[in-house]
Structure 1
Amino acid sequence: MGKDYYAILDIPKNAEDDQIKKAYRKLALKYHPDKNPAPEAQKMFQDISEAYEVLSDKNKRVIFDQYGEDGLKGGVPTGGPSEGAGGFPGGGFPGGAGFSGFPPGATFSFSSSGPGGRSGFQPREAKDIFEQFFSSFGGSGGFGDDDDDMFGRARGGMGGFPRSSMGGMGGMPGMGGMGGMPGGMPGGMPGGMPGSKFRQQQSSSSSSSSQQQQPSSGQKPAALERTLPVSLEDLQKGTTKRLKVTRKATESSGRTNEKILTIDVKAGWKSGTKIRFPREGDELANGEIQDIVFVIEEKPHETFMRQGDDLVMNLELTLVEALTGFSKSVKTLDGKTLPISASGTRVIQAGQEERFPGEGMPISKKPGSKGDLVVKYKVKFPTQLSASQKDSLKKILA
Structure 2
Amino acid sequence: MGKDYYSILGVSKGASPEDLKKAYRKLAMKYHPDKNADNREAAAEKFKDVGEAYEVLSDPQKKEIYDQYGEEGLKQGGPAGPGGFAGARNAEDIFREFFGGSSPFNDDPFESFFGGGGFGPYGGRASSMGPRKARPIEMQLGCTLEELFKGCTKRMKIHRRTSRGQQSEVLEISVKAGWKKGTRITFPEKGDENPGAAAADIVFILEEKPHPRFKRDGNDLIHTSNLLLVDALCGTTLQIPYLDGSTVELPLTDVISPLSIKVIRGKGMPIAKSPGTFGNMLVNFKIIFPRSTQISDEQKQQLRVALAGTVTPGQ
Q: What's the TM-score once normalised by structure 1's chain length?
A: 0.42
- Aligned: 1:246 with 2:159: yes
Contact 1:238 1:267 in 2 (8 A): yes
1:363 aligns with 2:271: yes
Distance of 2:193 and 2:279 partners within structure 1: 43
For 2:304, give the aligned amino acid.
K
1:300 aligned residue: 210
- Aligned partner of 1:331 in structure 2 is 241
Partners of 1:220 and 1:287 in 2: CA distance: 5
Does the CA contact (< 8 Å) of 2:132 and 2:196 recur in 1? no
The answer on whether the counterparts of 1:360 and 1:372 sit within 8 Å (CA) in structure 2 is: yes
Q: Cα distance, 1:236 vs. partner?
A: 0.6
CA distance in 2, matches of 1:318, 1:260: 50
Letter in 2 for 1:319: L
Q: Determine if contact 2:187/2:201 at 8 Å carries over to the other structure.
A: yes
- 1:271 lines up with 2:181 in the alignment: yes
Q: Which residue of 2 aligns with 1:235?
A: 148
Match of 2:232 among 314, 322, 325: 322
State the distance in 2 between where 1:261 and 1:325 align: 51
- In structure 2, runs of 5+ residues without a counterpart are 1-127, 309-315
For 2:133, give the aligned amino acid: K
Structure 1 residue runs without a partner (length 5+): 1-213
- Structure-2 change in CA distance of 1:215 and 1:280 (3 Å): farther
Give the aligned residue type for 1:355: V
Q: Secondary structure at the match of 1:235?
A: helix
**Would the aligned equivalents of 1:215 and 1:288 in 2 still touch at CA under 8 Å?**
no
1:374 paired with 2:282, answer yes
Q: Is the 8 A contact 2:137 2:201 kept in 1?
A: yes
The one-letter code of the counterpart of 1:295 is I
2:257 maps to which residue? 349
Structure 1 residue 314: deviation in Å? 1.3
Matched, 1:383 2:305: no
1:231-270, Cα deviation, whole Å (9 max, x unpaired): 11110111111111110126xx9x3101111111000000
Other structure's SS at 1:322 match: helix
**Equivalent-residue separation in structure 2 for 1:258 and 1:327 (angstroms):** 53
Give the corresponding residue for 1:289. Answer: 199
Question: Any runs of at least 4 consecutive aligned residues in structure 1 with deviations exceeding 4 A, and if so which?
Answer: 384-387, 389-392
Letter in 2 for 1:331: P
- Give per-residue Cα distances to partners, 1:152-191, cap 9 Å, x unaligned: xxxxxxxxxxxxxxxxxxxxxxxxxxxxxxxxxxxxxxxx
What is the aligned counterpart of 1:226 among 121, 139, 148? 139
Q: Which has the higher Rg, Structure 1 or Structure 2?
A: 1
1:215 and 1:287 in contact (8 A); partners too: no
Q: How far apart, CA to CA, are the structure 2 residues paired with 1:355 and 1:396?
A: 28
Q: How does 1:206-221 map to 2 (within 5 A)?
A: 218-221=131-134
How far the C-alpha of 1:282 sits from its partner, in A, is: 0.6
| Contact 2:232–2:257 (8 Å) recurs in 1 | yes
**Secondary structure, aligned partner of 1:369:** coil
Relative to its length, the structure with more strand (as a share) is 2
Q: Distance in 1 between matches of 2:159 and 2:258?
A: 53
Secondary structure of the corresponding residue to residue 334 of structure 1: coil
Q: AA paired with 1:245?
A: I
SS in 2 for 1:394: helix
Instruction: Provide the residue aligned with 2:172 in structure 1.
Output: 262
RMSD: 2.2
SS in 2 for 1:229: strand
TM-score (norm 2): 0.53
Amino acid aligned to 2:169: K
Q: CA deviation at 1:357?
A: 1.1
Deviation string 1:28-65 (CA, Å, 9 cap, x unpaired) is xxxxxxxxxxxxxxxxxxxxxxxxxxxxxxxxxxxxxx
Contact 2:237 2:250 in 1 (8 A): yes
CA distance in 1, matches of 2:212, 2:238: 19
In structure 2, C-alpha distance between the alignment counterparts of 1:266 and 1:320, rounded to whole Å: 43
Find the aligned partners of 1:290 and 1:348 in 2 and give their Cα distance: 56
CA shift for structure 1 position 391: 4.7
Confirm or deny: 8 A CA contact 2:132 2:197 kept in the other structure: no
Whether the 8 Å contact between 2:158 and 2:168 is mirrored in structure 1 is yes
CA distance in 2, matches of 1:215, 1:228: 33
> Structure 1 vs Structure 2: percent identity of aligned residues?
41
Give the letter aligned to residue 225 of structure 2: L
Aligned position for 2:221: 311
Give distance in 2, aligned partners of 1:295 and 1:283.
22
